[in-house]
Amino acid sequence: MELSFTARNVMLGAALLGVAGGAMGSFTLLRRQSLLGDALSHAALPGICFAFLLTGSKAPLPLFAGALIAGLLGALTMLATVRWSRVKEDSAMGIVLSVFFGLGIVLLTYIQKLPTGNQSGLDKFLFGQAATLVEEDVQVMALLSVGVLALLALFYKELKILAFDREYGASLGLPMRSLEILLTLLLVVVVVVGLQTVGVVLLVATLITPAAAARQWTDRLGVMILLSAAIGAGSGVLGALVSATVPRLPTGPVIVLFASFVLVVSLFLAPRRGYLWALARERRVERRIRRENLLKDLYRVGEGGESWDRFVSLPQLMGLRGQSSARLLRSARPLLQDGLMQRQGDTVRLTDKGRREAAGVVRKHRLWELYLTRRLELPSDHVHRDAEAMEHALTDEAVTELDALLGHPELDPHGRPIPPVVAGAAGEEATA
């Protein structure tokens, strides 16, 4: 019975923190204020100690209030320092962070020496100990989290402008300064909510890590916020449970490691932004380029020779671009499989299908060369390199436009014929 009650509190507390932290963290991340959360969480420590000294109790409400006030003071100090002196933002954060925290440690050790002060209850705020959450704590956390989420939702679109284009928002007459204060206030509240669960040092990770992970999966702010909240809640609940069941494992670090794991996975696997996807995309493009180059090479050889049906030797093809035989064979294989090429021993040649597709690529190349020489007036010996790159990038629509623009030309700058559009070639070119 005891365990499940504690577990319930732990889960609730961590979930609340995860949701509020994730949502709030999205704004913090986008406004490039990630480390502000770090500074504020450190700054909250003296507030907690003061509250204890003043009230003599470790009830959540006064401690939270103390943390809140200290956090706000810290934010104000940072703002004032940056505004009124030449000290830069990062230094201001570092100063508030370390000095306030130092004050907190002073108070903590002072309390420790007091006859009444059994501060072992207070230093759980350093690393977090979700297992010590009591019902009262969770209730306060719930109240605060709901408040934060409600305000974020209420002012969503104005906060969006604040994060994206503050100046424009000000020009519209929106009270950007007040909104900024509101956002900072909400940040401090979230910090306070999380202190008991993850502790002072790691709080920044409950804000930033889920938000950074969520950012990789979506390009829409609303979705990002929801996802970030979900990731935060998930890692929070998991981490808190693990920490509550395994001995000698403070909560904060476990939650952070779960969230960091999700982040790393997201960085790799997320579609479009993910590293693996980007790699795959690059490979695909490289493969297509190699394929088109090979087709082009064969076309040119065939064009220069007496007949299209002659087989070209592999060493000859290798020599054209200085490719190794291994590389060449790798490029050749898909062409053979797709029926664009025929092989006979050590030689290859284009099939009709292959010739049509090759013609398409050559057409792009030569049209582009003509465009460069005619429209941009580049000398004809300067255009080949550029066309080598552009031929892979031009879309069919672009080519049609180019053709029209240049007046349906027949010859390229070097006097070679520009292959006309062949019916059916467009469909085949779509494969890539």
Partner 1 sequence: MSPTLVILLVGSLVAASCALVGSFLVLRKLALLGDAISHSVLPGIAIAFFLTGDRAPLPMVLGAGALGVLTVFLVELFHRSRRLKEDAAIGVVFPALFSLGVILISRYAAQVDLDLDCVLYGEIAYTPWDLVFWGSRSFGPKALWVTGGVLALNALFVATFYKELKISTFDPELAGSLGFSPTLLHYALMTAVSLTVVGSFESVGAILVVAMLVVPPATAFLLTDRLSRMLILAVALGIVSAISGYWLARWWDCSIAGAMAVVAGTLFVLALTLSPRYGLLGRLLTHRRLRERLAGQLVLLHLQQGEARLPVTLLERRFGWSRGRFQRTLRRLARAGWIEKGRDGLRLTTAGADFLDSTGGSHLAHRL
Partner 2 sequence: MAFFKLQPAAEPDILGPMADDPSTVGSKPGDEREARAEREPRSEVPEPRPGVPAVEVHDLTVAYHTQPVLWDVDVDLPEGKLIAIVGPNGAGKSTLLKTVLGLVRPLTGRIRVFGEPYERRRSWVGYVPQRESVDWDFPTNALDVVLMGLYGRVGWFRRPSRHHRETALACLDKLGILDLAGRQISQLSGGQQQRVFLARALAQDARLYLMDEPFAGVDATTERAILTLLKELRSSGKTVVAVHHDLQTVAEYFDHVVLLNMRLVAAGPIATTFVEENLQRTYGGRLTVLTQATEALLGRGAAAEPEAGG
Asked if 280 is part of the footprint of partner 1 (rule: CB under 8 A), the reply reads: no
Q: How far apart are CA 20 and CA 144, in angstroms?
A: 9
Sign of the dihedral defined by the CA atoms of residues 280, 282, 285, 286, in that order: negative
Q: Please list the helix, strand and coil fractions of the chain in percent, rounded to the nearest 5, in that order.
A: 75, 5, 20
Asked if 277 is part of the footprint of partner 1 (rule: CB under 8 A), the reply reads: no
Asked if 310 is part of the footprint of partner 1 (rule: CB under 8 A), the reply reads: no
What element of type H or E holds 47? helix 34-55
Q: How many residues does the chain have?
A: 432
What is the Rg, in whole angstroms, of the alpha carbon atoms belonging to the chain?
32
Q: How far apart are CA 217 and CA 202, in angstroms?
A: 24
Instruction: Please choose which of partner 1, partner 2, none residue 220 contacts, taking the beta carbon within 5 to 8 angstroms, the exact cut-off set by kind.
Output: partner 2
Instruction: Please choose which of partner 1, partner 2, none residue 17 contacts, taking the beta carbon within 5 to 8 angstroms, the exact cut-off set by kind.
Output: none
Residues 30-69, one symbol each (x = binds partner 1 by CB under 8 A, - = not), give: --xxxx-xx---x---------------------------
Among the candidate windows 134-142, 157-165, 203-211, 400-408, which touches partner 1 by CB under 8 A?
203-211
Asked if 99 is part of the footprint of partner 1 (rule: CB under 8 A), the reply reads: yes
Q: How far apart are CA 93 and CA 35, in angstroms?
A: 8
112: three-class secondary structure by DSSP: helix
Among the candidate windows 26-34, 290-298, 332-340, 422-430, which touches partner 1 by CB under 8 A?
26-34
* Chain residues 340-379 in contact with partner 1, contact rule CB under 8 A: none
Sign of the dihedral defined by the CA atoms of residues 220, 222, 226, 228, in that order: positive
* Shortest reach from residue 404's CB to partner 1, in Å: 38
Nearer to partner 2, 207 or 301 (CB): 207
Nearer to partner 1, 131 or 202 (CB): 202
Spell out the residues 6+ positions from residue 132 whose beta carbon is closer than 8 angstroms to its own: 121, 124, 196
Asked if 249 is part of the footprint of partner 1 (rule: CB under 8 A), the reply reads: yes
Please give the torsion angle defined by the CA atoms of residues 256, 262, 267 and 270, in that order, rounded to the nearest 10 degrees. Answer: -150
Instruction: Please choose which of partner 1, partner 2, none residue 122 contacts, taking the beta carbon within 5 to 8 angstroms, the exact cut-off set by kind.
Output: none
- Please count the residues of this chain forming the interface with partner 1, following the rule CB under 8 A: 61
Spell out the residues 6+ positions from residue 58 whose beta carbon is closer than 8 angstroms to its own: 52, 121, 122
Asked if 216 is part of the footprint of partner 1 (rule: CB under 8 A), the reply reads: yes
Instruction: Please choose which of partner 1, partner 2, none residue 181 contacts, taking the beta carbon within 5 to 8 angstroms, the exact cut-off set by kind.
Output: none
What element of type H or E holds 205? helix 176-217
Residue 351: φ, ψ to 5°? -85, 175
Asked if 205 is part of the footprint of partner 1 (rule: CB under 8 A), the reply reads: yes
Q: How far apart are CA 347 and CA 173, in angstroms?
A: 73
Instruction: Please choose which of partner 1, partner 2, none residue 176 contacts, taking the beta carbon within 5 to 8 angstroms, the exact cut-off set by kind.
Output: partner 2
| Footprint on this chain of partner 1 (rule: CB under 8 A) | 29, 32-35, 37-38, 42, 81, 84-91, 93-95, 97-110, 113, 123, 126-127, 201-202, 204-205, 207-209, 212, 215-216, 248-250, 252-254, 256-257, 260, 263, 267, 273, 275
